[in-house]
Structure 1
């Protein structure tokens, strides 16, 4: 009995101490960018001057969302740790679950950030539909001790997910939802110089193109927090310019039905066109602005060819090219693990005017259209495009009767085609 009583006592003390810890969050402010590292308890934070702020935000899905929070200005916390404001360059925020976000001092304190009260005009929730930037209110970042998500009504505020980093938008379309760090436990102020984002890439690259060409832009890295902005009027793009990759890569499989409509290729290019593009994202300096120049082939422009339309159906061998029916010997299918539509490589590639060469010994497939050369290996996610290594999230596979299937979007869009998918009809539409 004594042993049982002892165990119960230990268990009670453990549960009590665990609950006490859970109810008493603290924030550590450290790093080589502060002279006086501190650890502030919840009570310490509550004794500091409190500010109540409403924020507009868009996440990377993207969808629009309001936040309201009450807490301490981030700058006041940094002052408490005696920030080296002339030396500090970066701040890393860490949540209790290990989630981290790095932001530059410039984007936090030099760039002006706002609450856009009319950001839901045009669409209540769809983040890719720009709202009205009028009436914007300048706001500062806070560490909220109380907050509410999805509303601007303070009566719904509570301490769930707090302390939480909250901050405004620099533009009415800027995606900041991924920067709201919940259950914040550490702030590290760093003196290392921020790196610069690599510039975006275009497919096809600059040069002569046939009328009707569609141009896709892509990030050279896998960092899903970066965004591509572009212009078509010759001006330099910035955070207020049109965004290209509205839906972040992490959501591509979940949003396959609308991906081609929202992250839509630029075009059709029917006249000489200049695209200027830049990568902007958290924790790094903006990339260099790159310019892609396209000159429409006059002969081909005079012909004004109609776009080629290829139709396929998931689970069916029926297909058509410009209305002419074809029968496939293997049906397209949906890879459920990654949500990717898989299509017969040779049929789609040759329909898009590319040649396909199969090397049985190495299990490699070479696809070329004169401008692009793609090398795929069956069972491998590593792909070469004009000699550059890329990684796709769904490896090519071979199905009976010996047909190679590849991810629809990768091959089609790499060859310059636009892709759409109707989930109700299970219809794939490829337009070149």
Structure 2
């Protein structure tokens, strides 16, 4: 009996201990491994490890930081800690150091070039939030910018500019400013930092942006899509006035690829193509991101065929194929981000609303709050709602068999025949080749 009681007590003790351990806040468990900070690598002459107590004994500096993440959302941070430059000086930063890799106790890593980290001027922009926090794609004002240094924050607060809320929850944490009011730096803040590696390896270069179509003679109304290898924190900046793009130029891929599925409802309106191209246009683009050198600037020249302007009286021929992303408008080739497909339940063909409507000369508006699509073609107005079979054509309510829908990477698809014929176009389908021809 006593033996059974002892076994029962031992099991109970293990269960209670497990509950206590796993009920600890995540930051508390992470901080167990972040009570020291190691600085190492072939880019320093004096590798060193600091304890948290040694870091706390050093001169402390406090800054407010403006930041935008890759969702994108705008956030304030406040941090107090040791200047990163001072720590690297203590470790003997070499002149030929090129990269700095930060590693947290939970395995997260972030690599930055020495130039972008220590030589480029970084700021807090007090007026970067002139709209809703979730409107991270809407540029704020750079007025009143305050230069800030990168620090290893020993106490901090995320989501507030009030230092009274600072705690050691995420410490030590790499914290740094923005080089431009639209720069996305939220993913550069490394929490639970415990290792800094300084490297002399030469940074690689980001890949050049690609354009679709890639230039040449195009029909009036052409929309140009830009892309690069990752479309994540490697951001594309572009110009259409002939100037060289920089961090201050418009950003193309505001929403990082990691969020495309989650933000499918607004992806097409935030990461939207450039255009319509109604006159001869030059687009210049560059990829800029953390840990690599900027890509080369690429230039795409577009000439509108015969100096034409959009004219709804001119004939249009649009070619699509079910299951294929290749498309054409009046003979010019395009690549869709998602292919036309047949709805299994209704047997209806669905096509990308923006591509087809704008190719026919109509304008498309998307209201994310109501999931409403409005297509305007001269005096004709068509209104559809994602997931609804009810539509309006010039204010008259109608029903359609197949509701509009959204598929990754955030492209809205609509019933082909309904919309095309509502816009006065003729639709022909060749069953053997699955080819669709829309003419107007």
TM range (shorter): 0.7 to 0.9
CA shift for structure 1 position 119: 1.0
Structure 2 CA distance for partners of 1:63 and 1:83, relative to 1, 3 Å: same
CA shift for structure 1 position 305: 3.1
- Aligned counterpart in structure 1 of residue 208 of structure 2, from 199, 214, 222: 199
The residue that corresponds to 2:220 in the other structure is 211
CA shift for structure 1 position 399: 6.4
The residue that corresponds to 1:26 in the other structure is 36
Structure 2 CA distance for partners of 1:412 and 1:166, relative to 1, 3 Å: farther
- Aligned counterpart in structure 2 of residue 169 of structure 1, from 169, 178, 186: 178
1:260-279 to structure 2, matched below 5 A, reads 260-279=268-287
The residue that corresponds to 1:91 in the other structure is 100
SS in 2 for 1:168: coil
Q: Distance in 2 between matches of 1:289 and 1:188?
A: 30
The residue that corresponds to 1:296 in the other structure is 304
1:8-46 per-position Cα deviation (integer Å, ceiling 9, x unaligned): 79x98x97xx97972862111111111222221111111
CA shift for structure 1 position 216: 1.0
The farther-off stretch of 287-296 and 222-231 is: 222-231
Asked whether 1:282 is paired with 2:280, we answer no
Structure 2 CA distance for partners of 1:408 and 1:239, relative to 1, 3 Å: same
The residue that corresponds to 1:111 in the other structure is 120
The residue that corresponds to 1:50 in the other structure is 60
1:159-193 per-position Cα deviation (integer Å, ceiling 9, x unaligned): 11111110000001111001111111211111100
1:1-400 to structure 2, matched below 5 A, reads 22=32, 25-84=35-94, 86-219=95-228, 221-222=229-230, 224-298=232-306, 300-301=308-309, 304-305=311-312, 353-356=318-321, 367-369=326-328, 370-372=331-333, 400=344
Q: TM-score normalised to the size of structure 2? A: 0.72
Q: Distance in 1 between matches of 2:33 and 2:107?
A: 19
Q: Distance in 2 between matches of 1:134 and 1:307?
A: 47
Over aligned residues, Cα RMSD in angstroms?
3.9
Q: Is 2:102–2:196's contact at 8 Å kept on the other side of the alignment?
A: yes
Q: Distance in 1 between matches of 2:214 and 2:48?
A: 51
Q: Is 2:76–2:158's contact at 8 Å kept on the other side of the alignment?
A: yes
Aligned positions, number: 364
Q: Distance in 2 between matches of 1:128 and 1:170?
A: 16
Unaligned segments of structure 1, at least 5 residues: 309-350, 358-363, 375-384, 386-391
Q: Is 1:278–1:289's contact at 8 Å kept on the other side of the alignment?
A: yes
Q: Distance in 1 between matches of 2:240 and 2:120?
A: 25
SS in 2 for 1:284: coil
Q: Is 2:129–2:140's contact at 8 Å kept on the other side of the alignment?
A: yes
- Specify the structure having the higher radius of gyration (Cα): 2
Q: TM-score normalised to the size of structure 1? A: 0.73
Structure 2 CA distance for partners of 1:352 and 1:41, relative to 1, 3 Å: farther
Q: Is 1:277–1:291's contact at 8 Å kept on the other side of the alignment?
A: yes
The residue that corresponds to 1:340 in the other structure is none
Structure 1 moving runs of 4+ over 6 Å: 1-9, 18-21, 394-399, 401-407, 409-413, 415-419, 429-432
